[in-house]
Amino acid sequence: ALAFLHLDVRAPEWLTSTKNVFALAVEHLGFDANQFGLGARDAIIIMGIWTAIGGSNMLLYIAGISNIPQELYEAAEIDGAGAWARFRAITVPMVSPALFFNLIMGIIGSFQVFTSALVMTRGGPQNATLFMVLYIYENGFHLFRMGYAATLSWLLFAIILLFTLIQLVFAGRWVYYEART
């Protein structure tokens, strides 16, 4: 009796298109979105940058800046240092531990992009957003290749460890800690 009733449920165009939401919105307004050259991966990168600027990272920067002794700025101003010189010689070195921590966490986080790629595009279109953790997830839990997924996880761990150790080696050149003399 209900054979004539046909429900057509499709994914929204922005999920199946090779363009991102911004490009589709620009096209909807009548402009050529290809002039921007943005794709699905760019949308995830923009989302990652947006997330990295705000939130807990910003709290660390604010805490670091509020921890800088006001006397340093006053002494620099008496010496005739301008705003840029004070920023470069006082603010950046004193906030460098927070910068360093956020750099390490940001690089680790960039290797572990998963949720945004899964929710926004599910790895598509045409595997444009198939990042390593999503690839591990697909192999482990959809294709049931647990051994391969575990091996890839260990490889990802080794890569992240290598990048972190490289950063730790070079941290002594630019990260300032008050306890050190």
What are the boundaries of each domain within the chain? 1-38, 40-174
Angle, vertex CA 101, rays to CA 96 and CA 107, nearest 5 = 120
How does 70-91 read in b/e, with b if 16+ C-beta sit within 10 Å? eeeeeebeeeebeeeebeeebb
Tokens of 170: 């070079």
Of the candidates 103, 123, 102, the one whose C-alpha atom is nearest the C-alpha of residue 113 is 123
pLDDT per residue of the chain (181 residues) written in tens, 0 to 9:
455 555 555 556 555 555 566 666 777 777 766 665 667 777 777 777 777 777 788 888 999 999 999 999 999 999 999 999 999 999 999 999 999 998 898 888 888 888 878 877 787 778 878 889 999 999 999 999 999 999 999 999 999 999 999 999 999 888 888 775 5
Three-class SS state of 2: coil
What's the confidence (pLDDT) of residue 80?
94
Q: What CATH architecture is 40-174?
A: Orthogonal Bundle (1.10)
Angle, vertex CA 99, rays to CA 105 and CA 179, nearest 5 = 115
- DSSP code of 87? I
Single pTM value for the model: 0.68
How far is the CA of 36 from the CAs of 19, 31, 44, 83, 106, in angstroms? 11, 10, 15, 36, 26
